[in-house]
Amino acid sequence: MSALFEFLLRMGDTTLILGHRLSEWCGHAPVLEEDIALANIALDLIGQTQLWLGLAGEVEGRGRTADNLAYLRDAAEFRNALIVERPNGDFGMTLMRQFLFDAWHVQQLKALTASSDARVAEIAAKALKEATYHLERSSDLVIRLGDGTDESHRRMQAALDELWPYAGELFLDDATDRALAQSGVAPPPSSLRARWDAIVQPALAQATLKPPESRFAHKGGRRGVHTEHLGYILAQMQFLQRAYPNAVW
Amino acid sequence: MSSEWPLWEVFIRGQHGLNHRHVGSLHAPDAALALKNARDVYTRRNEGVSIWVVKSNDITASSPSDKGPLFEPANSKIYRHPTFYDIPDDVGRM
């Protein structure tokens, strides 16, 4: 498996699984305005998935489409970061996950706009506009709810405590990352940590939330070792294509 | 929960329109979030280039029961419509 293919799966699977998670809120969010906003973000992410996985199929050269990759792979072949498969929890948990992800996503996409691979740079430029708005929204809400009522503060702090150990995986380098960095396709994940901290830490401080001191990071998603949650997501997402192969809309 | 948030009226200037037009309303805790919500609720299909939000409470509206005194007197004053002028042919369409 080429490093570039692997990288495209990591990008596309991460946006796909988070997009799916957010879509689970559709019709259930606390207010109509948030319901629509979450669905919009979900659709943005699914749209980006089509581009990343579409290119992945092209790079692989075995004739697989974005849909084939999304619907016909098993959990161990998925390369998404673990944080995006975390259950939605309450609204605060979903927002916190979104905020921690968005802050990484924006930095990653910014760096990718300078990729040595023009196709990657092009997708990143398009996705960056969407991600910039996502981050604006999620950081705003995290600050409001963190620095809100006693209950909203308590929920946001609990969400931060639970999700913090899953954020670290986004900044771990492996051999694939090093190969991609060498060829100028993508930045080493570790290089984004300082820029991520520069966004996340001041926002959390403003939200009166305290990140855990530990830097312990759950990891494995980016090489196909997932939590039990991914299987359930795929069961729901892939059911139709698995039960009725090649069914079309 | 939404009933605790004030109502906002949303005005959008479209791609080709010059004026902001009223498109609907939504709930939001303050102006900044009302703008964001308006973006998400009312510009999903590329409708706008500019958004205004105004607290519904800040709009003073005419009362429907005043419709008679307010508007009916204008009915019988056809001379207020510029339809009695002869326009020379070479002016073309006005």
Q: What is the pLDDT of residues B35-83, one digit of tens each?
A: 999 999 999 888 889 999 999 999 999 988 888 888 888 888 887 877 7
Q: Are B36 and A140 in contact (CB under 8 A)?
A: yes
pLDDT tens figures, A209-219: 999 998 899 99
Give residue B3's pLDDT.
55
CB spacing of B32 vs A37 below 8 angstroms? no
Give residue B2's pLDDT.
44
- Band (pLDDT 50/70/90 cuts) for residue A19 is very high
- With b meaning 16 or more CB within 10 Å and e meaning fewer, what string describes B27-54? bbeeeebbbbbbbbbbbeeeebeebbbe
Q: Are A185 and A119 in contact (CB under 8 A)?
A: no
* Range in A19-33, A55-69, A142-156, B54-68 the model is least confident about: B54-68
**For chain B, percent of residues with pLDDT exceeding 90:** 48
Amino acid at A220: G
Give residue B94's pLDDT.
65
Q: Inform me whether the C-beta atom of residue B12 falls under 8 Å from chain A C-beta atoms.
A: no
pLDDT tens figures, A155-180: 999 999 999 999 999 999 999 999 99
Please list every residue in chain A whose beta carbon sits closer than 8 Å to the beta carbon of residue B37.
Answer: 33, 37
CB spacing of B27 vs A33 below 8 angstroms? yes
Q: Which tokens in the block code for residue A58? A: 């092209």
Domains of chain A (ranges; CATH) run 3-243 (1.20.1260.10)
Please list every residue in chain B whose beta carbon sits closer than 8 Å to the beta carbon of residue A136.
Answer: 36
Supply the CATH classification number for the domain B2-85: 3.10.20.520
The mean predicted confidence, pLDDT, of chain A is 96
Which residue in the set B2, B29, B36 is minimally distant from A32, CB to CB?
A: B2
* Range in A35-49, A56-70, A140-154, B32-46 the model is least confident about: B32-46
H/E element, B23: strand B20-27
CB spacing of B37 vs A140 below 8 angstroms? no
The DSSP output letter for A112 is: H
- Band (pLDDT 50/70/90 cuts) for residue A205 is very high
Sign, Cα dihedral of A126, A131, A137, A143: negative
Q: Which tokens in the block code for residue B36? A: 């964001």
The DSSP output letter for B75 is: T
For A40-59, the DSSP string reads HHHHHHHHHHHHHHHHHHHH
Q: Inform me whether the C-beta atom of residue B5 falls under 8 Å from chain A C-beta atoms.
A: yes
> How far apart are alpha carbons A16 and A53 in whole angstroms?
9
| Residue extents of the structural domains in chain B | 2-85
CB spacing of B37 vs A37 below 8 angstroms? yes
pLDDT of B1 higher than 60: no
pLDDT tens figures, A102-157: 999 999 999 999 999 999 999 999 999 999 999 999 999 999 999 999 999 999 99
Q: Which tokens in the block code for residue A237? A: 């997402």
Q: Are A62 and A2 in contact (CB under 8 A)?
A: no
H/E element, B78: none
Report how many helices (DSSP H) and strands (DSSP E) chain B contains, helices first.
Answer: 2, 3
pLDDT of A98 higher than 50: yes
Mean pLDDT of B3-30: 90
> How far apart are alpha carbons A51 and A11 in whole angstroms?
10
Give residue B41's pLDDT.
93
Which residue in the set B29, B32, B40 is minimally distant from A36, CB to CB?
A: B40
Minimal C-alpha gap between A32 and chain B (Å): 8
> How far apart are alpha carbons A190 and B41 in whole angstroms?
37
> How far apart are alpha carbons A180 and A89 in whole angstroms?
35
> How far apart are alpha carbons A10 and A69 in whole angstroms?
12
Mean pLDDT of A231-249: 94
Q: What is the pTM of this model?
A: 0.89
ipTM score here? 0.77
Q: Inform me whether the C-beta atom of residue B3 falls under 8 Å from chain A C-beta atoms.
A: no
Q: Inform me whether the C-beta atom of residue B31 falls under 8 Å from chain A C-beta atoms.
A: no
Q: Which residue of chain B has the CA closest to A140?
A: B33
Give residue A111's pLDDT.
98
